Homo-oligomer: A and B are copies of this chain.
Amino acid sequence: MKIGIVGGTGDIGEGMAMRLAPHFDVLVGSREKEKAEISCQQGNETLKKRGHECYLSAASNQKAIDDAEIVILAIPFRHLAGTLETLHGFDDKIVVSPINPMEKREFFVFVPPPEGSAALLVKKILPERARVCSAFNTIAANKWKALDEELVYSVPVCSDDAAAKQQVMKVINTISKLQAFDAGPLAVSAMVESLTPLLLNIARYNRMRDVGIQFR
C-alpha cells in the first residue's frame, strides 16, 4: 500500500515517514520537490543503517496524493485551507488529518474553526468522495523522530467512513506499539483535537516532555 504525506518534510511528517517506511511505500510530499529529495536521501540512509530495506520516495505534494491510497495531511492548521486550495485529486482517497487547531496564549488553547474541528474543515473543503479520517493527533513530532523509542500510545481514530477507518486503524497498529481505537464519527474529532493542547499544558506545568496518552 502506498501512503502519501502532504508536508512530508515538516516537523511531524518527517518522523512519520521514517516510522511508516519499514511497512509501506511512502511518498514524501513537499511544496519544493528538492526539499523532499534531500529529506528522502537522508531518511533512506538512516533506514539502511538500521537494517531496513525500504525506500522513501520524494514527490510534490500533488504527486503524493495522486500516487497514494492513503494521504496524510501533515501540515499546521494555519496552512491547512491555503494548502488544500492548491491541490486536487482527493476523490476516493483516504485522507487522514492529524491536525490540531490550537494557539499558545497564557497556556495552550483549543481554537477550532466554525466547522467544529480541523478534520470537519478538511471534510468541508475536499470533494464529497474524499474519505476523511482524523488520527495521529496526540503523538509529538519528537516522538515520531526518536526511532530508538517505542511509541506506546493509544490513537483515537474518527471517520464517517467505516471501511476507511478500519484501514487507517490497521496502518496505526503496524507502527511501533501504537494501538488504534475507534472514537466514532468525524464529529468526535473536536474532542480528540482538544487533547493535544491539554497534553501540552500537562507537559508544561509538570515539566515533562512530549506527553502522550493511553486509554485503559
Interface residues, chain A, CB within 8 Å of chain B? 106-107, 110, 152-153, 156, 181-185, 187-188, 190-192, 194-195, 197-199, 201-202, 204-206, 208, 211-216
Contacts and interface: CB of A to CB of B under 8 A. Distances in A.
A211 B154 CA distance: 12
A211 B201 contact: no
Contacts of A213: 213-216
Nearest to A194: B191
Given A213-B215, A216-B211, A205 B184 contact: yes
Contact of A215 (B107, B110, B211): B211
Contacts of A110: 190-191
Copies of this chain, tallied across the complex = 2
Given A107-B188, A110-B191, A188-B107, A198 B216 contact: no
B214 A216 contact: yes
A87 B198 CA distance: 32
Given A214-B216, A216-B211, A197 B206 contact: no
5 contacts: A182-B206, A184-B205, A191-B195, A191-B198, A213-B213
Contacts of A199: 215
Nearest to A207: B182
A204 to B, nearest CB: 7
A108 to B, nearest CB: 8
A183 B205 contact: yes
Given A107-B187, A194-B194, A197-B191, A212 B216 contact: yes
